[in-house]
Chains A and B, each alone.
Chain A
């Protein structure tokens, strides 16, 4: 039969967290969803399609991991709603593929039995059989299938073994729903399931009685040690940040060179005029200033992927629980907050794994205060200026460390205050976390994920930031003044007028109208600040980016108020840094917070609070510093 393009049936992949659903999803669809060795990597329903060996096209849904159908965290609720067909515009799936980790059948079968009880046709994918058999488990899939009355397929989704057999099992007619033979009148379903599973495991998955001391146990003796564990965690986190800042320099140099060459090429092609100015100053200068930071973002996501994939992220959450508790949060808040150092958007989405609704709201609220990678360009512009140095000294690294520490500590303090105000939860959420065995990272999936994030960043640079760069260029170029002087032109332009308008608001913070305008433009995305400053201070492309940033720094350092005082003193630079640490200048984050908290009020409240807080903190720094005689 020739392959058809019509969807013949919908298959849902369901299982405990970390059972390998996403790996199986990728193996079935050839997709590139991210795979982690940490619960909660899938927090939404992912959809794909594949063909059965008979050419039928099936839709496959990858549901978030859950331990039961009781659904007490938002990601579990998504999974249950998808199963029951309660998601908008979706019918219940025709077959549920229950993905279970063969090493942990005692726990994972609970969920499979609940699906059978729902009356849904079910296929059991016995994943990671190689690991189970290596650990001494004697599996008998045929006996399991006979007992449960559903197809049972041993497989190793990560190496593609058993995928063809699974596709065969999903041929038409699809498997029927089995009967829940374990349910007895007068017995609680939970107890009935438990004793049935015990019997089943005794029959078909016999474990050697002796507790086996695995390689993961040995590694955990060091990595979870009260002293060495912390030393390793600090070393790993410092290593990650150090690598990001030092290794990224090389590709950043290439991007700078390419950008410089492109600018020079366009300049040589076009005659002097508005079009050349638009392309060289507006487009190449504006977008290039942001694309520059692509290598750092790629590296950060690469390291986060590595930590998740190897299984270390769960250990970090375990260790960090004590520190998180000081902020009124639990260890599970560590991953969202750590991810927020890269970008608050995936950070806010990763809060879905937090069971307590109030804890989750608090984590969402403070996540933007973890300095994200978009703030880096701003920090890298200002910090050397503050120290009267060129880029790249240890003193600058120290200041950067303090900037990150200030954001983090403020986030923790805010979390503590907010957590106290929100009151206790209706259901007590205790720390309960599965520590997956250490695994070799799945490089192909990590790389695909990194490429996906990098592409999202480039797309953003090519659309939003390109648009803003052009808009800023136009605002600072038109209306044209009669005089030829660049400063006159800027004062006459729309941008100059906006600057005059907002100057009273930013002057108490130590900024002039131009800086105020640059800050205003960066409310769409923080990294726009550098591009805006370059346009506002009329800096031409200096060939490579570091030179351009150096030229911009020279311009900023030489800029004065009308009375001749220097525009930027150390105090006003610190005030500017403080503003960037605290302000929530990222419209996409506001949109994601509104979606995740299901409340525009919460999102707008967060935006208003953080902007007002940033303004007050800057005011305090600048005016307080002046009173103290700085």
Chain B
């Protein structure tokens, strides 16, 4: 599923990052195998990753594939 589809409050693991904004996403830490928690949805999403909160747009979140962290 994409990061947009994930539920708020879920702990997630990134499976893939692809799309026109992926280079910027990778620089900000959105890389395969990274763990994150989705803190808020809406027009822009808020995620917590490695102790940092990041706000990203829905268009960018669509380029991040995640699955629930086991």
Query: A residues bordering B, Cβ < 8 Å?
Result: 67-68, 70, 72, 103-107, 110, 132, 135, 137, 190, 194, 198, 207, 211-212, 216-217, 220, 224, 226, 314, 318, 321-322, 331, 427-428, 430-435, 437
Contacts and interface: CB of A to CB of B under 8 A. Distances in A.
A137 B37 CA distance: 18
Contacts of B43: 321-322
Nearest to A201: B50
A241 B36 CA distance: 38
Where chain B touches its partner, the secondary structure class is mixed
B23 A70 contact: yes
Interface of B: 11, 20-21, 23-29, 31-34, 37, 39-40, 42-44, 46, 48, 50-57, 59-60
Contact of A103 (B28, B51, B54): B51
A198 B31 CA distance: 11
Of B37, B42, B50, B56, most A-chain CB atoms within 10 Å: B50
A211 B44 CA distance: 21
A190 B57 CA distance: 23
B48 A211 contact: yes
Contacts of B31: 194
A190 B23 CA distance: 10
B55 A433 contact: yes
A314 B54 CA distance: 10
B29 A68 contact: no
The 10 A-B pairs with the shortest beta carbon distances in the complex, nearest first, are: A431-B57, A435-B53, A107-B29, A67-B27, A106-B50, A430-B60, A433-B55, A430-B57, A68-B27, A103-B51
Contact of B52 (A68, A104, A211, A432): A104
Contacts of B32: 194
A312 B43 CA distance: 19
A194 B29 CA distance: 9
A128 to B, nearest CB: 11
A107 B37 CA distance: 16
Given A190-B26, A428-B20, A428-B21, A433 B54 contact: yes
Nearest to A433: B55
B46 A211 contact: no
Contacts of B27: 67-68, 70, 107, 110
B28 A432 contact: yes
Nearest to A321: B44
Contacts of A216: 53
Contacts of B57: 321, 430-432
